[in-house]
Structure 1
Amino acid sequence: MKYLLLLLSIFVMNLGYAGSSSIVEVAGYSCMGSDFSRKETERMALQDAKRRAVERSKTHIESVTEMEDFVLKRDWVEAYASAEVKVLAILSSIWDEPGNGDCFNIVLQAEVVPSEQVVKSIKELNEDDPRLPLSIKVWSSADKLKAGEMLKIYLQGNKSFFGRIIYTDAAGDLVQLLPNAHRPDDYFQGGVRYDVPSALDRFVLRVKEPFGRESVTVYASTSRLGNIDTQQLGAIFKVNTAPSSVATRSRARFTEEPQKIKNPGESRLNEFAETTVTVLTEP
């Protein structure tokens, strides 16, 4: 997609899988003693922080997510018990003063990604339930589009969220559809269907070359997303941030607004969801 009003895009009633996760800022700690080297101690502190990130996510599911269905709640806890932990950023790392012992402290931002298989089976039955972790549905009226055809995109979250919609054309160029110049708000109400474009947007989505496989990704969080580099292109925004960095930058809000976390018992968490749908466009 090269120009604003002649925008190509995509979606299928067959919804793309919505990946849910939690992003945690958490501290880890380990002491060297007589059995471990400094390198091993640093590794164990990192593992301690990862373990605490998983435990914090499980606690969030158990306490913040209000579920009366015990089986459903158990399934979510199980999904996080087998979660993958991705380190997004190391915010600080320091050894204690010599007089305080040979101990290493680390604070990291990690994404805790629950078992995809378990989560997918849960959402198939309960995807609109606001008591569940954040989930976003994205769809359209067609799964294949030809030159000149018009498209409208729809999205809906199971709870309120902050978000952005990124469109990637067949040439790999990115634009931000929402927020845009005429609809700058990045806050979306839960349970409400949003149309893109709407009358507020003042543009249309019309298929134009380059043709091929296109994608639209919605990044959503219960906290504001991290910033990406954009410049206005009519009603929408051209994305200047490298495509490989958009997902990471969108998850980076805590890094941009650091909180002084020093003790292993401290942490902060927000729910995150990323949904991508693709389509083939033709002349």
Structure 2
Amino acid sequence: MSSIQSQFLDLTAHNTCYDAIDPQVALKDSASDKVIFIAGASKGIGQATATAFAQAGAKAVYLTARSEEALKETQNLVRTANPNTRCAYAVCDVTDARQVEAAVKDCAAQFGAIDVADANAGYLGPWVKIGESDPEGWWRNWEVNMQGSYHVIRYTLPHLIESAKTRGAEGRSGGHLILISSIGAQFVMPGASDYQTSKHAINRLCEFVQSDHDEDGIKCFAVHPGGVATDIGHSMPAHMHEYLVDDPSLAASFAVWLSTGDADWAKGRYLSANWDVTELTALKPEILRDDLLVNRLRAKA
């Protein structure tokens, strides 16, 4: 498999934003006419993503999360990053389909479109063995991580399809959908059955979105955002905290890059924000030829 390993790519790893994905340099104005919908935008990676799209010149950024106070903070950061980027928000629990539907409708009504959707809301509970787990707590991971992502997908897709159609007719790329996965999706670690299986399912859900809506012009990605010292990151056992070395700006800038169209060839796949995008692009022929970075059962040694 050349430089391709069975689970990961042997690429230069980054821990923070770098020149090739810098929304204020290489990607400056790349989002100038786009409307961005972000679920889970109140803090951490979601907040950084909202700011990064504003720095890249987004027409508008629509924020959702459960905390209005935190949403106002993100809104202020967006306005500071780019006074010309319009910004609105809705208090929204992604596990509630009606709330997500209402937020999406409000976004489209205010800004006229949705060109990029980022399902960033997530949850990680205590790590315990399945036989010792709390059923409600175990399932909460799936409600937020999987059901929440589904709701964002379901209600933004009609708008993303329209974006892909409209922008495609003009020779531009639109209809980008980013699902937050995790490197944990590729591991089996004691006590992490709820979180890691939900993230593994996100990877497969990404593939189904692409299978169902490739003809509609949708480009869906399942993204590991790096090891970031967010509330979710700190919910891991203490011995795992040494891996929380990545800045939120890395995943945020990576999301902007995914939305430029430069990564459209990698649609329907699992990608890591840590991977150097120039080196990743160089592996395009091999990745497409061998259908890599997707969930598959290995049946041969």
Whichever of the two has the greater Rg, that structure is 1
Structure with bigger helix share is 2
Common fold: TM-score over 0.5: no
Structure with bigger strand share is 1
Calculate the TM-score normalised by the size of structure 1: 0.27
Calculate the TM-score normalised by the size of structure 2: 0.26
